[in-house]
Structure 1
Amino acid sequence: MNHPYVSLFREFCTRWVSRARSLAATIGAKQCDLARAALQAARHPTRRGIALALAAPPLACLAYTLALVPFTPHLGDIRKARVDRPALILSADGKVLTEFKPVNREWVSLNQISPHVVDALVATEDHRFYQHHGIDLQRVAGAALHTFTSSRQGGSTITQQLARNLYPEEIGRAPTLTRKIKEAITALKIESVYSKDEILVTYLNTVPFLYNAYGVEMASRTYFGKSAAELNILESATLVGMLKANSAYNPVINPDRALERRNTVLAQMVKFGKLDARDYAWLQRQPLNVNFEPQAEPVGAAPHFTAQLRRWLTAWADRNGYNIYSDGLVVHTTIDSRLQAMAAQAVGWQTSQLQWIANDAWNERTGCWPGNALFQSFIRQTAGYKAARDAGLADDAAIRKLAKDASFVEALCHSKTQIQAGFVAMDPRNGDIKAWVGSRDFQGEPFDHVQQARRQPGSTFKAFVYGAAFADGAQPGDTIVDRNVAIALKGNAVWKPTDAEPATGRPMTLRNALAFSRNRVTAQLMQRERPEKVAALARAMGVRESPLDPVPSLALGTSPVTLREMVSAYCTIANRGAYVEPRMVTRIEDRDGKVLAEFPATAPQQALPTVAAVKLVDVMRDVVDRGTGEDIRTRFGIHADVAGKTGTTQDNTDSWFILMHPQLVAGAWVGFDDARVTLRNDYWGEGAHSALPVVGAFYDMALRARVIDGRAQLPSSGHNAPRPGHARKRHHFLFWSF
Structure 2
Amino acid sequence: MDLSTTLRARWARLRPALAQLLHRPERWLSAHGLVWLLAALALAGVLYVLALTPFTPGISDIRKAKSDQPAQLVSADGRLLAEYRWVNREWVPLETIAKPVVDALIATEDHRFYDHFGLDWRRTLSAVVRTVGGDKQGGSTITQQLARNLYPEDIGRAPTLTRKIKEAITALKIEWLYSKDEVLETYLNTVPFLYNAYGIEMAARTYFDKSADKLNVLESATLIGMLKGTAYYNPVLNPERAQARRNTVLAQMAKRGKLSQTEYERLIKRPLRIRFERQAEVAGLAPHLAQQLRRQLIDWADRNGYSLYSDGLVIRTTIDGRLQEMANRAVQQQGRALQGVADSAWAPRSAWGPKSALVQQLVRESPQYEKAVAAGAAPEEALRELLDDGSFLRTLRQSKTRVQAGFMAMDPRSGAVLAWVGSRDYATDPFDHVQAARRQPGSTFKPFVYGAAFAMGLQPTDTLLDTAVEIPLGGKRVWRPTDGRTPPSEEPMTLRDGLAYSKNTITAQLMQKVGPARVVQLARAMGVRESELEAVPALALGTSSVTLKEMVAAYGTIANGGRYLAPRVITRIEDKDGKLLEEFKPASPERALDVTAAQQLRDALRGVVDKGTGAAIRSRYGITADVAGKTGTTQDNTDGWFILMHPQLVAGAWAGFNDGRITLRSDYWGQGAHSALPMVGDVFRQALRAKVIDARERFVDEEESSWIGSAAGTLRNWVYDLFGRPTGEQAGPAGAPAPQPELPQTPAPAASGPPPEERPEITDAPLVPLQEVTPRPAPAEPPVWVTEPDAPLPGPPAAAPAAPPAPPGAGPTAPQVVPGVVVDPVQRGVVVPRPQDNAPFFVETR
TM-score normalised per structure 1: 0.86
| Contact map agreement 1:615 1:716 (CA 8 A) in 2 | no
After superposing the two structures, state which structure 1 stretch, 339-348 or 624-633, moved more. 339-348
Deviation at 1:546, TM superposition (A): 0.6
* Residues 352-501 of structure 1: pairs in structure 2 closer than 5 A: 352-382=336-366, 387=372, 403-500=387-484, 501=486
Give the Cα separation in 2 of the matches to 1:327 and 1:132.
34
Residue 509 (structure 1) aligned to one of 480, 487, 494: 494
Task: Give CA deviations for 1:659-700 in whole Å, capped at 9, x if unaligned.
Answer: 011222111111222222222222222211221111111111
Residue 180 (structure 2) aligned to one of 196, 218, 230: 196
Cross-structure match for 2:580: 595
Give the Cα separation in 2 of the matches to 1:247 and 1:286.
22
Task: Give CA deviations for 1:511-550 in whole Å, capped at 9, x if unaligned.
Answer: 1111111122222222222211211211121111111111
Give the Cα separation in 2 of the matches to 1:315 and 1:564.
22
Give the Cα separation in 2 of the matches to 1:371 and 1:263.
52
Q: Decide whether aligned partners of structure 1 residues 505 and 289 sit closer, same or farther in structure 2, where only a CA change above 3 A counts.
A: closer
Q: Which amino acid aligns with 1:596?
A: L
Q: Decide whether aligned partners of structure 1 residues 181 and 252 sit closer, same or farther in structure 2, where only a CA change above 3 A counts.
A: same
Q: Decide whether aligned partners of structure 1 residues 193 and 465 sit closer, same or farther in structure 2, where only a CA change above 3 A counts.
A: farther
Give the Cα separation in 1 of the matches to 2:272 and 2:357.
53
Q: Which amino acid aligns with 2:507?
A: T
- Specify the SS of the correspondent of 2:496: helix
Cross-structure match for 2:692: 707
Cross-structure match for 1:689: 674
Q: Which amino acid aligns with 2:49?
A: T
Cross-structure match for 2:246: 262
Give the Cα separation in 2 of the matches to 1:205 and 1:127.
20
Q: Which amino acid aligns with 1:611?
A: T
Deviation at 1:240, TM superposition (A): 1.6
Q: RMSD of the alignment, in Å?
A: 3.0
Q: Decide whether aligned partners of structure 1 residues 69 and 384 sit closer, same or farther in structure 2, where only a CA change above 3 A counts.
A: closer
Q: Decide whether aligned partners of structure 1 residues 553 and 260 sit closer, same or farther in structure 2, where only a CA change above 3 A counts.
A: closer
| Contact map agreement 1:424 1:666 (CA 8 A) in 2 | yes
Deviation at 1:256, TM superposition (A): 4.5
Give the Cα separation in 2 of the matches to 1:358 and 1:99.
34
Give the Cα separation in 1 of the matches to 2:112 and 2:33.
39
Which structure ranks higher in relative contact order (CA pairs < 8 Å, sequence separation ≥ 6)? 2
Give the Cα separation in 2 of the matches to 1:405 and 1:234.
39
Structure 1: give runs of 5+ residues left out of the alignment.
1-33, 720-727, 731-738
Residue 241 (structure 1) aligned to one of 216, 225, 234: 225
* Residues 324-343 of structure 1: pairs in structure 2 closer than 5 A: 324-343=308-327
Residue 62 (structure 1) aligned to one of 41, 46, 53: 46
Task: Give CA deviations for 1:148-172 in whole Å, capped at 9, x if unaligned.
Answer: 4444432211111011112222211
| Contact map agreement 2:596 2:703 (CA 8 A) in 1 | no
* Residues 78-477 of structure 1: pairs in structure 2 closer than 5 A: 78=62, 80-276=64-260, 279-280=263-264, 282-382=266-366, 387=372, 403-477=387-461
After superposing the two structures, state which structure 1 stretch, 201-210 or 333-342, moved more. 333-342
Q: Decide whether aligned partners of structure 1 residues 203 and 562 sit closer, same or farther in structure 2, where only a CA change above 3 A counts.
A: same
Q: Which amino acid aligns with 2:83?
A: E
Cross-structure match for 1:735: none
- Specify the SS of the correspondent of 1:127: coil
Cross-structure match for 2:568: 583
Deviation at 1:611, TM superposition (A): 2.8
Deviation at 1:402, TM superposition (A): 5.3
Q: Decide whether aligned partners of structure 1 residues 37 and 654 sit closer, same or farther in structure 2, where only a CA change above 3 A counts.
A: closer
Deviation at 1:601, TM superposition (A): 2.0
Give the Cα separation in 2 of the matches to 1:368 and 1:286.
46
| Contact map agreement 1:622 1:643 (CA 8 A) in 2 | yes
| Contact map agreement 2:76 2:317 (CA 8 A) in 1 | yes
- Specify the SS of the correspondent of 1:683: coil
Give the Cα separation in 2 of the matches to 1:356 and 1:454.
25
Deviation at 1:608, TM superposition (A): 2.0
Task: Give CA deviations for 1:288-345 in whole Å, capped at 9, x if unaligned.
Answer: 4333333233333222222212233223223333322222222223322322221122
Cross-structure match for 1:725: none
Give the Cα separation in 2 of the matches to 1:443 and 1:44.
70
Q: Decide whether aligned partners of structure 1 residues 360 and 125 sit closer, same or farther in structure 2, where only a CA change above 3 A counts.
A: closer
- Specify the SS of the correspondent of 2:24: helix
| Contact map agreement 2:280 2:427 (CA 8 A) in 1 | no
- Specify the SS of the correspondent of 1:477: coil
Deviation at 1:181, TM superposition (A): 0.9
Q: Decide whether aligned partners of structure 1 residues 82 and 413 sit closer, same or farther in structure 2, where only a CA change above 3 A counts.
A: closer
After superposing the two structures, state which structure 1 stretch, 613-622 or 557-566, moved more. 613-622
Cross-structure match for 2:557: 572
Number of paired residues? Answer: 688
Q: Which amino acid aligns with 1:68?
A: L
| Contact map agreement 1:479 1:510 (CA 8 A) in 2 | yes
* Residues 518-597 of structure 1: pairs in structure 2 closer than 5 A: 518-597=503-582
Q: Decide whether aligned partners of structure 1 residues 289 and 614 sit closer, same or farther in structure 2, where only a CA change above 3 A counts.
A: same
Cross-structure match for 1:604: 589
Q: Which amino acid aligns with 2:174?
A: I
Q: Which amino acid aligns with 2:670?
A: G
- Specify the SS of the correspondent of 2:680: helix
Q: Decide whether aligned partners of structure 1 residues 172 and 383 sit closer, same or farther in structure 2, where only a CA change above 3 A counts.
A: closer
The structure with more helix, counted as a fraction of residues: 1
- Specify the SS of the correspondent of 1:186: helix
Residue 649 (structure 2) aligned to one of 652, 664, 688: 664
Deviation at 1:497, TM superposition (A): 1.8
Deviation at 1:560, TM superposition (A): 0.4
After superposing the two structures, state which structure 1 stretch, 146-155 or 228-237, moved more. 146-155
Give the Cα separation in 2 of the matches to 1:46 and 1:419.
84
Cross-structure match for 1:722: none
Give the Cα separation in 1 of the matches to 2:337 and 2:257.
64
Q: Which amino acid aligns with 1:469?
A: A
Q: Which amino acid aligns with 2:128?
A: A
Q: Which amino acid aligns with 1:160?
A: Q
Give the Cα separation in 1 of the matches to 2:377 and 2:131.
54
Deviation at 1:203, TM superposition (A): 0.9
Q: Which amino acid aligns with 2:78?
A: G
Q: Which amino acid aligns with 1:706?
A: K
Give the Cα separation in 1 of the matches to 2:684 and 2:581.
35
Give the Cα separation in 1 of the matches to 2:393 and 2:250.
51
| Contact map agreement 1:449 1:563 (CA 8 A) in 2 | yes
Deviation at 1:459, TM superposition (A): 0.8
Q: Decide whether aligned partners of structure 1 residues 65 and 108 sit closer, same or farther in structure 2, where only a CA change above 3 A counts.
A: same
Give the Cα separation in 2 of the matches to 1:392 and 1:291.
38
| Contact map agreement 1:617 1:715 (CA 8 A) in 2 | no
| Contact map agreement 1:331 1:585 (CA 8 A) in 2 | yes
Q: Decide whether aligned partners of structure 1 residues 401 and 191 sit closer, same or farther in structure 2, where only a CA change above 3 A counts.
A: closer
Give the Cα separation in 2 of the matches to 1:385 and 1:270.
51
- Specify the SS of the correspondent of 2:413: coil
Question: Sequence identity of aligned pairs in percent?
Answer: 61
